[in-house]
C-alpha cells in the first residue's frame, strides 16, 4: 500500500514539475521576445531651446515628473529598484548624462525614449516610466530635454540589468511594468502647450505621473517591495478625501500627513517642487475622484 502511495505521489510531483517547467519555458520565451521586439515609430520634430528660462522650466518638470527622484540630482543614476538580493532581478536607474557609463543621445533619441519608451535600438527600455510622461505637451517636452542636455557629464558605470524567474513571471502576468513601450500609444498626437491653472483638468495632466505607484485609478496598490507599506488610495475615498487643500500641500512639502504619520521613503516627496497652483490643481483633481 505504501509503495503505491509513494508511486502515485512521485507521478503527481513529476507531472507538476513538468507542467511548471513547460509554463516557465513559455514565460521565458515570451518575455525574451517582448524584450527583443523592435518598434518602428515615427519620431516628432521638436525644436529644443537652450535658453536659461527653458532649462529652469525643464528642471522643474524633471522634479515633478519623477526624473530627479529616479536618476538623482546630477542624473547619474544608481538608484536600486531591484538589487542583487531582490527575487525580481537587478534593476538600477541609468546614468543619463553623456559621461562614461552614460548615454550619448541626440534630440531624436530623447524623443524616442520619452515619447515611445524606446532605446536607440528601437527596443523597449526597461522599467522606464515613459508611459507616465509621454503625453506631456510639446513645450514641456522640449524644456525637459533642454534641461537634461544641459547637465554636465558624470562618469559612473552602472549595473547590468537582468530578470530572475519571479520577475519574468510577474512581467508575463502584467503585474510588473517592465516594458513601457507596450503601454504607449505610438500614434498619439500631442498638444503644443498646456496652460497652468488651478483646475482639475490641469491636476489630471500633472497627476498621471502618480499612477505608476498609486495605480491607474489612484486607488492604491500592494507594496512595491518587501520593506515598503501598501501604496495608499489618494482619491476622495482615501484619507486625502478628508484633507483640506492646505493639509494636502503641507503633506507633500513636509512628508507629514494630517494624521501625524510620516510618508514612506518610497514616496519621493523630497524631490517634488510643486507650486501652490500645481498643488491646488492636483488636489482638486484627486479630491473629485469618486
Percentage of residues in the chain having pLDDT higher than 90: 81
CB 40 within 8 A of CB 123: no
Q: Is the pLDDT of residue 212 over 90?
A: no
Per-residue model confidence as pLDDT tens digits over 261-272: 999 888 889 999
DSSP for 112-147 reads: HHHHH-B-TTSBBPSS--HHHHTTS-HHHHHHHHHH
* Band of residue 220 on the pLDDT scale cut at 50, 70, 90: very high
Per-residue model confidence as pLDDT tens digits over 68-91: 999 999 999 998 888 888 999 999
Q: Which domains does the chain have, with CATH numbers?
A: 52-183 (1.10.760.10), 200-287 (1.10.760)
* Band of residue 29 on the pLDDT scale cut at 50, 70, 90: very high
Q: Which helix (H) or strand (E) holds 221?
A: none
pTM of the model: 0.91
Mean pLDDT calculated for residue range 102-127: 96
Q: What pLDDT is recorded for position 80?
A: 87
- Pairing verdict, β 162-163 and 80-82: unpaired
145's CB contacts (< 8 A; 6+ apart) are 46, 48, 58, 107, 110, 111, 114
Which of 265, 252, 239 lies closest to 207 in space, CA to CA?
A: 252
Q: Which helix (H) or strand (E) holds 2?
A: helix 2-36
Amino acid at each position: 500500500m505504501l509503495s503505491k502511495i509513494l508511486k502515485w505521489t512521485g507521478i503527481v510531483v513529476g507531472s507538476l514539475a513538468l507542467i511548471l517547467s513547460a509554463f516557465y519555458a513559455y514565460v521565458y520565451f515570451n518575455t525574451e521576445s517582448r524584450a527583443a521586439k523592435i518598434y518602428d515609430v515615427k519620431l516628432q520634430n521638436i525644436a529644443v531651446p537652450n535658453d536659461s528660462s527653458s532649462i529652469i522650466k525643464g528642471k522643474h518638470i524633471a522634479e515633478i515628473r519623477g526624473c530627479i527622484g529616479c536618476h538623482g540630482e546630477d542624473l547619474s543614476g544608481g538608484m536600486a529598484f531591484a538589487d542583487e538580493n531582490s527575487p525580481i532581478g537587478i534593476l538600477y536607474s541609468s546614468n543619463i548624462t553623456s559621461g562614461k557609463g552614460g548615454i550619448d543621445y541626440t534630440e531624436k533619441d530623447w524623443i524616442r525614449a520619452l515619447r515611445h519608451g524606446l532605446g536607440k535600438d528601437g527596443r523597449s527600455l526597461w522599467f522606464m516610466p515613459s508611459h507616465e510622461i509621454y503625453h506631456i505637451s510639446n513645450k514641456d517636452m522640449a524644456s525637459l530635454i533642454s534641461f537634461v542636455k544641459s547637465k554636465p557629464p558624470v562618469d559612473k558605470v552602472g549595473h547590468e540589468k537582468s530578470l530572475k524567474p519571479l520577475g519574468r513571471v510577474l512581467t508575463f502576468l502584467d503585474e510588473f511594468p517592465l516594458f513601457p513601450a507596450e503601454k504607449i500609444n505610438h500614434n498619439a498626437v500631442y498638444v503644443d502647450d498646456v496652460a497652468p491653472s488651478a483646475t482639475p483638468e490641469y491636476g489630471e495632466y500633472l497627476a498621471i505621473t502618480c499612477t505608476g505607484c498609486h495605480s491607474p485609478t489612484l486607488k492604491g496598490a500592494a507594496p512595491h517591495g518587501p520593506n515598503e507599506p501598501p501604496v495608499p488610495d489618494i482619491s476622495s475615498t482615501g484619507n486625502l478625501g478628508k484633507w483640506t487643500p492646505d493639509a494636502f500641500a503641507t503633506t507633500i512639502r513636509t512628508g507629514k500627513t494630517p494624521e501625524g504619520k510620516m510618508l514612506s521613503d518610497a514616496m519621493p516627496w523630497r524631490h517634488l517642487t510643486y507650486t501652490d497652483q500645481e498643488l491646488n490643481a492636483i488636489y482638486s483633481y484627486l479630491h473629485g475622484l469618486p
